[in-house]
Chain A
Amino acid sequence: MSLRLLKYAFIEDYAEPRWFNTPATLGDSYDVVIIGAGGHGLACAHYLAHDHGITNVAVLDRSYLGGGNTGRNTTIIRSNYLTPEGVAFYDASLALFRDLSDALDTNIFYSERGHYTLAHNESTLRTARWRAEVNKHYGVDSEVVDAEAVGRAAPGIDLACGGNHAVEGALYHAPGAVARHDAVAWGYARQASRAGVEIHQHTEVTDILVEQGRVTGVVTPRGTVRAGAVLSAVAGHTPSLLAKVGLSSPIEIFPLQACVTEPVKPWLDTIIVSGSLHLYVSQSARGEMVMGASLDPAELHSRRSSFEFVSGLADGMLDLFPGMAGLKVNRQWAGMADMTPDFAPVMGTTPIAGFYLDAGWGTWGFKATPISGKTMAATIANGRDDPLIQAFNLSRFDDFSLVGEKGAASIGH
């Protein structure tokens, strides 16, 4: 038992301070209002305070902290993307993640595992080579390995895949990691709160006020709040929120499902992804196998999970890891993914002055949490897009300058 724990046995009033402020009253004016208390919104609040000294900030959420896609993703962190813009962006995120436990004074259980994207045919292998070369050019650690290397890294894997679609090789990304997603949100909430940021849970934004092309505040059931700047960081609710300010976007909402098995002894040290089989798997620190598949086929604004998902996932998973046949699925859930046509996010300024967007995070949002917070904070503080996110502005769809990132998506779509 640690001495710190022992100390509390002798202190009558031993409660640790709360992790974040929950002020009883909502103010009537803030410099910045952030809609959505997920990882992205809280990270932005933290960096607004930490990097730019802007602390008169309120983070509002319709539900509880980190209860949306922050708590529903499968926590994989990597930077082996396909476009120069994507690689630079996600690599900066990975660098922040590595030091995040220290920076937030919160153990986020960051654990580098290595990340294998399996190729079951020649065309997938060709994309893997392409990604490896782009990555190497930008100093990201990626290489193409053969099937034997996959076999050595993943015990129990059936490289013949039941004789249906043998593994030909893989894109290996050594810095691929997992982290505890709740801890990331809570760590940011704690630091932002210490700096004076207010976090209001169960405070839904029902309307956004715009006067003469400039955002002036938001309406909530607890009252109207004036704001100099408003950031929307609401993942699957983005289109509904944009409709309130009269903006439209190419974002479409599809459910993405995942599940975990009962915990077992550590046996899989690495992250295995197969785009062809539509699945990915890693083992959590608790021993659960964390698994996911592809997006649901049709648009849906709901977080229901389905039997089709687990049965389809198990079908592919047992081809790859026949030894998992006896494992029981403990929990399954879904998140609402805000998909974009080019599989890159939509970030930065909008045609409405003072209204900023951090959206289009589809199935790739968790790994971008620190850098999206940092770049959005810089964008809000300076009133113009941070250089790292200029390519991701909403205006790219007006002038056809898309950022084609689909080939680097882990999961099937």
Chain B
Amino acid sequence: MKYADFPLLGRRPFTEFSISGVLEPEPAELGEWTAARWVFERASVPRERVEWWYHGPSRLWFRVRRDTGSDIVVAIEPARTGSRA
């Protein structure tokens, strides 16, 4: 089973979490891009990217930097809440 050290939680198995999308910078303006491209287009090649992961039992959100080619987790940081920001 795959484990990682999460801030605030300690060592937890990934099965306790669910992925909820990728942190991609939104384009300031769509420019040449059509709206449809922004909705559907994916850069699904092996790369490092930051993903949102949700921990159900504690209701905490994390930003996980993961390599989609090797499945290696590079960094994990908690999503800042309003009071901690």
Question: Which A residues are closer than 8 A to B by beta carbons?
Answer: 239-240, 243, 248-253, 297-302, 304, 306-308, 341, 397-400
Measured between C-beta atoms, what is the minimum distance from A277 to chain B in Å? Answer: 17
Asked whether A248 lies within 8 Å of B36 as measured between CB atoms, the reply is no
Sample 14 A-B pairs with CB under 8 A, ordered by A number.
A248-B41, A248-B42, A248-B43, A249-B41, A297-B19, A300-B68, A300-B71, A301-B44, A301-B68, A307-B1, A397-B36, A397-B40, A398-B36, A399-B36
Asked whether A400 lies within 8 Å of B36 as measured between CB atoms, the reply is yes
Whether A308 contacts B1 in the complex (CB less than 8 A), given A239-B42, A250-B40, comes out as yes
Asked whether A239 lies within 8 Å of B71 as measured between CB atoms, the reply is no
Measured between C-beta atoms, what is the minimum distance from A205 to chain B in Å? Answer: 15
Contact of A299 (CB < 8 Å), options: B1, B37, B44: B44
Residue on A with the closest CB to B68? A299
Asked whether A304 lies within 8 Å of B36 as measured between CB atoms, the reply is no
Asked whether B44 lies within 8 Å of A297 as measured between CB atoms, the reply is no
Whether A341 contacts B43 in the complex (CB less than 8 A), given A301-B68, A308-B1, comes out as no
Say yes or no: is B30 at the interface (Cβ < 8 Å to chain A): no
Measured between C-beta atoms, what is the minimum distance from B36 to chain A in Å? Answer: 5
Contact of A297 (CB < 8 Å), options: B18, B34, B45: B18
Say yes or no: is B83 at the interface (Cβ < 8 Å to chain A): no
Task: Tell me the chain B residues, 28-48 only, with Cβ under 8 Å from chain A.
Answer: 34, 36-37, 40-46
Asked whether A252 lies within 8 Å of B36 as measured between CB atoms, the reply is no
Measured between C-beta atoms, what is the minimum distance from A239 to chain B in Å? Answer: 4
Contacts of A298 in B (CB 8 A): 19, 51, 66, 68
Measured between C-beta atoms, what is the minimum distance from B51 to chain A in Å? Answer: 7
Contacts of B15 in A (CB 8 A): 308
Asked whether A249 lies within 8 Å of B42 as measured between CB atoms, the reply is yes
Known: A248-B42, A297-B19, A301-B68. 13 other contacts (CB 8 A): A240-B45, A248-B41, A248-B43, A249-B41, A250-B40, A250-B42, A298-B19, A298-B51, A298-B66, A301-B44, A302-B70, A397-B41, A400-B36
Residue on B with the closest CB to A298? B19
Task: Tell me the chain B residues, 1-59 only, with Cβ under 8 Å from chain A.
Answer: 1-2, 15, 18-19, 34, 36-37, 40-46, 51
Give the complex CA separation of A248 and B41 in angstroms. Answer: 7
Give the complex CA separation of A239 and B69 in angstroms. Answer: 13
